[in-house]
């Protein structure tokens, strides 16, 4: 007798659940469209001629063509700019990831004098912006003889990225059971072997998240190369896009092609590491 009213209540609630789910997906679809629409508009403009962009900026290209991308790559010297960005970005990402993993492991899993004060002192770097230190940083780079080289961009960027990377890796190392390290030491592993073979593989989502964050930060960096890399042969993609825009201000199709070239590497890196990146972002939320 009691099962029938419960069944009727469940049937009454079912439409509300369906409506709630439908509303949720509609909102998510709307937000997704807002985020993708600017990218699609730029990519479509890169496939149009200048006349098509001026007459029908929101329409599809009448004739899909890669001529603007080829022109931007060759005439706009985007090949050189992309290569310079790779030369700068890869050492920054590798340096920040390696130093952050080592520092995060040391602060999270080891015991030494001054551990907490040193950790909090390192976290003060999260509050340091490039704008606040760019004048003394410029003279430091100049005195070291690095001005006008890629190292003038690489070394300060690593220093600015390590505080955030250490904070991120520290939080992940802290979640791992201490028994894993103890078992590895009993089996004869030294501390570095414990870190490399046991602990580090378990933090691959965090490492992937850090790689994506640092790649985006280094690839999109503008102020540091503007200060330190004045020679055209050293310019990364962000500065190349600035000068390219100044040279072809009236040709929106070529500017869109340059923006497309500059944005594709970030999208490719994110798509490659998407699964691990999402696992890293949700690890803290899923932990009971």
Give helix then strand counts, H and E, for the chain. 14, 0
Q: Note the pLDDT of residue 282.
A: 58
**The CATH number of domain 71-286, selected from 1.10.3720.10, 3.40.50.970, 1.10.520.10, 3.40.50.2300:** 1.10.3720.10
Q: Note the pLDDT of residue 95.
A: 95
Residue 188's SS3 state is coil
Q: Note the pLDDT of residue 93.
A: 95
CA angle 54–56–57, rounded 5-degree value = 70
Taking the CA of residue 274 as centre, how many other CA atoms within 13 Å lie in the half-sphere pointing to its CB?
A: 6
Q: Note the pLDDT of residue 100.
A: 94
pLDDT digits (tens, 9 = 90+) for 7-50: 555 555 567 677 777 888 888 888 888 888 888 888 888 888 77
Q: Note the pLDDT of residue 288.
A: 39
Pair 90, 128: CB distance under 8 Å:
no
d(CA 20, CA 10): 15
User: Burial level of 32, CB count in 10 A (0-12/13-18/19+)?
Assistant: exposed
Long-range Cβ contacts of 139-142 (<8 Å, 24+ apart): 141/228
Q: Which of 77, 68, 45, 46 is nearest to 58 (CA)?
A: 45
Pair 99, 158: CB distance under 8 Å:
yes
d(CA 215, CA 93): 6
Query: Residue holding tokens 């280094």?
Result: 218
**What predicted TM-score, i.e. pTM, was given to this entire model?**
0.82
For 243, the token pair is 């000068």
pLDDT beneath 50: ranges in the chain: 1, 284-288
Q: Note the pLDDT of residue 281.
A: 58
Cβ-based neighbours of 282, under 8 Å, separated by 6 or more: none
């Amino acid at each position: 007798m009691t099962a029938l009213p419960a069944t009727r209540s469940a049937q009454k609630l079912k439409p509300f659940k369906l409506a709630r789910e439908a509303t949720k997906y509609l909102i998510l679809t709307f937000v997704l469209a807002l985020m993708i629409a600017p990218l699609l508009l730029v990519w479509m403009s890169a496939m149009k001629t200048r006349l098509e962009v001026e007459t029908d900026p929101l329409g599809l290209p009448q004739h899909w063509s890669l001529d603007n991308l080829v022109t931007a790559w060759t005439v706009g010297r985007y090949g050189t700019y992309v290569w310079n960005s790779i030369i700068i970005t890869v050492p920054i990402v590798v340096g920040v990831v390696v130093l952050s993993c080592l520092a995060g492991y040391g602060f999270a899993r080891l015991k030494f004098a001054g551990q907490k004060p040193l950790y909090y002192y390192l976290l003060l770097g999260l509050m340091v912006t490039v704008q606040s230190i760019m004048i003394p940083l410029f003279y430091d780079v100049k005195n070291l003889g690095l001005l006008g080289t890629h190292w003038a961009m690489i070394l300060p960027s690593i220093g600015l990225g390590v505080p955030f990377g250490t904070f991120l890796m520290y939080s992940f190392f802290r979640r791992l059971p201490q028994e894993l390290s103890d078992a590895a030491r009993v089996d004869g592993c030294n501390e570095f072997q414990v870190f490399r073979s046991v602990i580090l593989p378990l933090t691959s989502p965090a490492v992937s998240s850090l790689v994506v964050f640092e790649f985006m930060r280094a690839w999109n960096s503008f102020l540091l190369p503007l200060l330190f890399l004045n020679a055209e042969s050293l310019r990364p993609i962000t500065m190349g896009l600035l000068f390219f825009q100044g040279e072809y201000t009236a040709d929106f199709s070529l500017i869109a092609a340059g923006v497309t070239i500059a944005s594709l590497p970030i999208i490719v890196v994110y798509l490659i590491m998407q699964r691990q990146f999402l696992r890293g972002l949700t690890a803290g939320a899923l932990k009971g």
